[in-house]
Structures are given as C-alpha cells and as structure tokens.
Amino acid sequence: MLNRIDEIQGMGFHLDLVLRKIQKAYIRKFDELGVDTTIEQWVILHQIYQLGDHASQRDIVDENFRNRATTSRVIAGLERKGWISKTRFDGDQKRFKLELTPKGQEILDLTLPSALALRKLAIKDVEASEFETFLKVLNKIGGNYEEDQPQ
C-alpha cells in the first residue's frame, strides 16, 4: 500500500478524514449539551483548567499547535463568553494569568465527561500495541517534515 500512496490521494487525505470525523463528534456532543464552543476554545479551556493557578497565556501559546495570534483570538473569545478571566500575575506585569470563571468551570464540568468518553471511543477495539505503533509511525512521519530535516 505504501508504494501506492500517491494513487490513494496521499496520507494527508486519510488523516484529514479521520480528524474531521473526530471534530464532528465533539461538536455534535457539545451541541447536545447546549454548549456553544469550538474545539479550539474547549482545548484551551481545558488547558487552563489543567495548569491551574499557574496558567499563563504564554504557556497556552507554547503548548498549542496554533500561532500566537490565533491563540490570542481564541482566548479573547473565551473571555468575551465570560468563561475565563485574564489578569496580570502579581509581581510579573509581562505575563497574563488565565483563570476559569465560575461559568467556565461549569462548562468544563458539563463537557469533560463527554470529552473523556470520546477519547476512549477513539481507541475502542484498538490494542495497546497497535496504538503505540500508530503513535510511533505518526512521530516518524512528523519528523520527516521537521524544518531541520533535508528534503
């Protein structure tokens, strides 16, 4: 099959197809729960929750696969919704501190069980060794496209 990769529309087509299915499942579940959010917003909301009292905008930018401007827009959207607050750290006026508001915590409490269930669904009927191999292969493919790799 590898020797036919161009004939079958390349691996990007297959990765994109699976990613779209996953995204659609999350959005459908959020809609069922009555939560108006994007996947990017939910991921950042969850990251802020995980980082706790030390959540900074810089940390979120560094941990995301989006550029600084896009991440800043998503954070601003969460702030407009009243799900997070953005202040400065005490003694460090350069960094923005991000915190969940009570409404943001409520949204996370409502959506997190479904998000975790969807994560489990992704690996349903997949053996641990198969998933490990899948991740190794993805890492190798990604490494082939690192900027410092010869083309």
Query: How confident is the model at residue 113, as a pLDDT?
Result: 97
User: What percentage of the chain reaches a pLDDT higher than 70?
Assistant: 91
Q: Quick: pLDDT tens for 22-63.
A: 999 999 999 999 999 999 999 999 999 999 988 888 888 888
What is the 3-state secondary structure of the chain? CHHHCCCCCHHHHHHHHHHHHHHHHHHHHHHHCCCCCCHHHHHHHHHHHHHHHHCEHHHHHHHCCCCHHHHHHHHHHHHHCCCEEEEEECCEEEEEEEEECHHHHHHHHHHHHHHHHHHHHHCCCCCHHHHHHHHHHHHHHHHHCCCCCCC
The reported pTM is 0.83
- Between 150 and 117, the more confident residue is 117
Task: Give me the chain's average pLDDT, please.
Answer: 89
